[in-house]
Amino acid sequence: MTAISLGPSPARRDVLTKRIRLLVAATITYNVIEAIVAITAGTLASSTALIGFGLDSVIEVSSAAAVAWQFSATDHDVREAREKRTLRIIAVSFFALAAYVTIDAIRALTGTGEAEHSTPGIVIAALSLAVMPFLSTAQRKAGRELGSATAVADSKQTLLCTYLSAVLLVGLVANSLFGWSWADPIAALVIAAVAVKEGREAWRGDACCGPIPTTSAVTETDACGCKPGCTCCN
């Protein structure tokens, strides 16, 4: 019977690990800059949406830092041992993001404060909308191939940041052009619901991607290495 490899070779695993480290470092660097710009612009414009977006960037940094901590270990077994704790940190980050976005959206809907036009806010939202999908896709692809649930979960939070960027951009532009202050908080509540769902999956360990088999075989996983019913790779 032909032996079946359940994951990438050690050499390929090293390549993927280094790639994830670079992507996480890029995510942290960009989000630190994004947080500073968004919080500063939000404070100047009295925009709770911009301030909330900046705080989301801070949460994204904490999630990426947790993954960086996991992959700082050179030994594969040590990284696997850190997997569950890192997933919990990511889950808490999702819950914190959902809580803040919900509170911020309710405040906006009840008419607390009136945001002014913010050109820097529009620019950073548009830039994030272009940058975040690339970082999320690259990290998710590497995480799936490596079989790292934490890398996949963190890539989901980066993708969620993309959605928030779109929501923020639409809200800022609509507020500047038409005075539609209600569009942003309504969409933000939908994003918060998605964040809760992703947080629950990360807490339970449902980010269940396993390493992609290097040889074909009849297994209880699909083409991307996910168990039946798992949605982490979708």
Confidence (pLDDT) at 222: 42
State residue 32's pLDDT score: 94
What's the pLDDT at 115? 67
DSSP state of 215: S
Q: 149 with 207: CB under 8 angstroms? A: yes
Q: Are 225 and 147 in contact (CB under 8 A)?
A: yes
**Residue 27 to residue 156: CA distance in whole angstroms:** 12
Assess contact for 136 and 28: CB atoms under 8 A.
no
Per-residue confidence of the chain (234 residues) as pLDDT tens digits? 444 445 678 888 888 888 888 988 898 899 999 999 999 998 888 777 788 788 878 878 887 887 788 777 777 777 777 777 878 887 888 898 888 888 878 877 886 656 678 889 899 999 999 999 998 999 899 889 888 888 887 888 788 888 888 888 888 888 888 877 777 677 778 878 878 887 888 788 654 444 444 444 444 444 344 444 444 444
Contacting residues for 218 by C-beta, under 8 A, at least 6 apart: none
Distance, in Å, from the CA atom of 97 to the CA atom of 95, rounded to the nearest integer, reads: 5
Note the pLDDT of residue 106.
Answer: 85
* Token duo for residue 100: 């803040």
Longest CA span, the chain: 70
What tokens appear for 183 in the block?
């569009």
Q: What is the pLDDT of residue 112?
A: 62
Confidence at residue 234, expressed as pLDDT on a 0 to 100 scale: 47
Cα–Cα distance for residue pair 40/112, rounded to 1 Å: 19
Determine contact, residues 207/152, Cβ cutoff 8 Å.
yes
pTM over 0.85: no
Q: Which pair of tokens denotes residue 123?
A: 């620019």
Q: Roughly what angle, to the nearest 10 degrees, separates helices 149-177 and 183-204?
A: 170
